[in-house]
Amino acid sequence: MRLYEVDRPKLDVSSLRTPAVMQLNKAMIRAGHEVRIVGGAVRDLVLGKDPKDIDMATDATPDEMMKIFDQAGIRYEPTGLQHGTLTVILDGEPIEITTLRIDKETDGRHAEVEFTRDWKVDAERRDLTFNAMSVDLDGNLYDYFGGVEDLKILNALNLSAMLVHEWMKIFCVFCATSDSRADLLRPIGMQIHWPLSSKKQLA
């Protein structure tokens, strides 16, 4: 079994440090909370690509975010409060920001959630190791489960992370047993995060 300590190499996030993003970051830090970039932008940064858009996560609850944004005069829309998501609009730039959470019950498509302040606990609910990565606006990469290694495997095989992500969503719905799912991905050597954070080691 592979065991990973938190690995924090530096990534170049200069292209993402726009005035809007930094204004949002400043407001959250002033209130004692943290924000990080998650999702596709992190994958792009790891592979040396220029991210086209960003999603963010925070340890603040939706109510705390709304209070912070109201006090800072930041416009926002409650686009997915049931999952802790608000969309901030700064300088005409929409930025989706979501509270860290635990998926208490899930069928692979929909989940009953509980908010948390623990970044690693939030990472554990994510389906693939490279989707569990996050990076702060100083460029510190948080890779709890070896996502960089798995992403490099995909890149070497000339496979798109987004394609694998979409394939896995279908895969999780139709595969009945963990053994059959593991066997199919064993040649790739990847670790997958299954629903309810039941991680299966596939290497």
Residue 7 lies in a domain: no
In a domain, 57, yes or no: yes
Q: How far apart are CA 98 and CA 68, in angstroms?
A: 14
Give the tens place of pLDDT for each residue, 174-201. Answer: 443 444 444 444 344 444 444 333 333 3
The larger pLDDT score, comparing residue 53 to residue 203, is at 53
In a domain, 46, yes or no: yes
* Residue bearing the bigger pLDDT, 45 or 104: 45
How many degrees, rounded to 5, is the angle at CA 186 between CA 180 and CA 189? 150
Number of independent structural domains in the chain: 1
Q: What are phi and psi of 183, to 5 degrees?
A: -60, -35
Among 105-114, 154-163, 187-196, whose mean pLDDT is lowest? 187-196
Which residue range is the domain that position 89 belongs to? 14-145
Q: What is the pLDDT of residue 165?
A: 57
Measured in residues, the chain has a length of: 203
Domain annotation covers residue 88:
yes
User: Residue 33 above 70 pLDDT?
Assistant: yes
Q: How far apart are CA 112 and CA 17, in angstroms?
A: 33
Confidence of residue 107 (pLDDT cuts 50, 70, 90): low
Summarised one tens digit per residue, pLDDT across range 117-126 is: 999 999 988 8
Q: How far is CA 96 from CA 12, 74, 85, 175, 200, in A?
A: 21, 13, 7, 31, 30
Contact 139, 13 (CB under 8 A): yes
In a domain, 124, yes or no: yes
Task: Answer for the pair 100, 61: CB distance below 8 angstroms, yes or no.
Answer: no
5 inside domain: no
Mean pLDDT of the chain: 79
Give the domain CATH number at 97. 3.30.460.10
Which residues fall within 8 angstroms of residue 72, CB to CB, at 6 or more apart?
A: 23, 27
Quote the pTM value.
Answer: 0.76
Residue 105 lies in a domain: yes
Is the residue at 137 inside a domain?
A: yes
Name the pLDDT band for 5 (thresholds 50, 70, 90): very low
Percent of the chain scoring above 90 in pLDDT = 51
SS3 track for the chain: CCCCCCECCECCCHHHCCHHHHHHHHHHHHCCCCEEEECHHHHHHHCCCCCCCCEEEECCCHHHHHHHHHHHCCEEEEEEHHHCEEEEEECCEEEEEEECEEEEEECCCCEEEEECCCHHHHHHCCCEHHHCCEECCCCEEEECCCHHHHHHHHHHCCCCHHHHHHHHHHHHHHCCCHHHHHHHHHHHCCCEEEHHHEEECCC
